[in-house]
Amino acid sequence: MEFPRSSNVTSASAISTVRKIVTPALDCVHRPFFRYNTRMNDPLVIAGRSFRSRLIVGTGKYKSFQETARALEASGADMVTVAVRRVNLDRSKESLLDYIDSKKYFLLPNTAGCYTADEAIRAARLGREVGLSDWVKLEVIGDQATLYPDVQATLEATRVLVSEGFTVLPYTSDDIVFAKRLIDAGAAAVMPLGAPIGSGMGIQNQAHIRILREMITGVPLIVDAGVGTASDAAIAMELGADAVLMNTGIANAQDPVLMAEAMHHGVLAGRQAYLAGRMPKKLYATASSPLEGVVR
């Protein structure tokens, strides 16, 4: 465009003229994208409590507490897990808890490192006694090499903790039979592994996750463990998981803060794809443009 070559035209008036012409055009371009990139009005609800984010993030394995805080911020998570047995609870010296704003994040104590039901129950009670929460991510390990859960001990601990007023989110196998037993025992969610803890192998049991999704509708289904990158998170959500919990996939990335942001987008994309419904898979090609009406 050209401006009049008048000495009375100031730079301010020129800028004003440009804005009048360009701003509407920019609005047409940017408004739709701004609309779709905002948070979805699709909260995760656990035990009656709503969370905006469907990404739950662990707080272990980072290089520093400062890096942990930056990664949490980048992830957009509302809920973060804290290992009761691995964090300084008396605050006598620098603690991870000094870097987690309890007004911003919902703290979910976990019983990582427990190998018996009794150990896990004591850890959950300790977390509540020091004021962390009466919610608990219940983890009872049955095998040291694979870190697979001891499902029977997990069931026993769930029954006890629910009877004591805890909101229990148990880490478990992808066995639908035990999943149903955990729900009957009062579990507020079912959290099957997608692959061994810390393996980063991605979702290795997609058929089992699909079965769990079809048969579990009364409580959230949260994939816990095995996610190594954002595409793994997206796959878990596309399979119908209500949320994904991860730690190592972010903390052990070369750039944990950037990976945390990527995981945020992966979970969001997977959830949107699940709600949108993917097209059916076909063996043969189908033309994208219809052949009817083609000029010959």
| Active site positions, annotated | 137
The structure tokens 């360009």 sit at 22
Residues 56 and 53: their CA atoms lie apart, in Å, by 8
Residues 204 and 217: their CA atoms lie apart, in Å, by 22
- β-partners of residue 168 are 136
Q: Output b/e per residue, 159-190; b: 16+ Cβ within 10 A.
A: bbbbeeebbbbbbbbbbbebbebbbebebbbb
CA distances 125 to 100, 110, 118, Å, are 21, 11, 11
Count helices and strands in the chain by DSSP H and E runs:
9, 10
- CA within 13 Å, CB half, 272: 12
